[in-house]
Amino acid sequence: MSGSAWTQKGGTLSNKTARKEFGLSQGEIIEAVKSGKLEYKQNYMHENLYFRLLRNEVESLVNEKYGNSYLKNKKLKNELAQVTKEMNRLKKQFVSLEQKKTELLENIDA
């Protein structure tokens, strides 16, 4: 079962993403790896080492350490950040399209 999680889209995350998304410290991640609570694979990007972790194991660790309400709150905050980011992107795109529309209307009248 864990073999499929490694290849499933969204089934893994880097140690950096785990720290950002779930508020874990690098020490907590390393401690969990050493104790066998987290499986990992070593990867390199631009000659820098990072760990790939299974998302469901990280979520279980956070749930065990901080409780279910903490995990739910973190997930909601992450989703809110994504929605806000997308809204800002769309606002910029809208402004750009409005400017293009104005230019086109000016050229039509000329």
Residues 66-108: pLDDT tens digits? Answer: 998 999 999 999 999 999 999 999 999 999 999 999 999 999 8
Q: Note whether 57 and 76 are same-domain residues.
A: no
pLDDT digits (tens, 9 = 90+) for 26-48: 999 999 999 999 999 999 999 99
Beta bridge partners of 44: 49
Q: E strand or H helix at 45, and its extent?
A: strand 40-45
Per the DSSP assignment, residues forming a β-bridge with 14 are 52
- C-beta separation of 75 from 36 below 8 A: no
**CA–CA distance, 70 with 95 (Å, rounded to integer):** 38
Same domain (yes/no): 39, 5: yes
Torsion sign across C-alpha atoms 53, 54, 58, 59: positive
pTM score over 0.85: no
Report how many domains make up the chain: 2
Same domain for 43 and 84?
no
For residues 54 and 19, state if they share a domain. yes
Does residue 30 sit in the same domain as residue 56? yes
Residue 2 pLDDT more than 70? no
Give CA angle at 58 (46, 77), nearest 5°. 90
Same domain (yes/no): 26, 46: yes
Q: Are residues 87 and 61 in the same domain?
A: no
CA pair distance 79, 62, nearest whole angstrom: 17
Amino acid at 109: D
Mean pLDDT to the nearest integer, 52-79? 93
What is the extent of the structural domain holding 93?
A: 67-110
Q: What is the pLDDT of residue 4?
A: 82
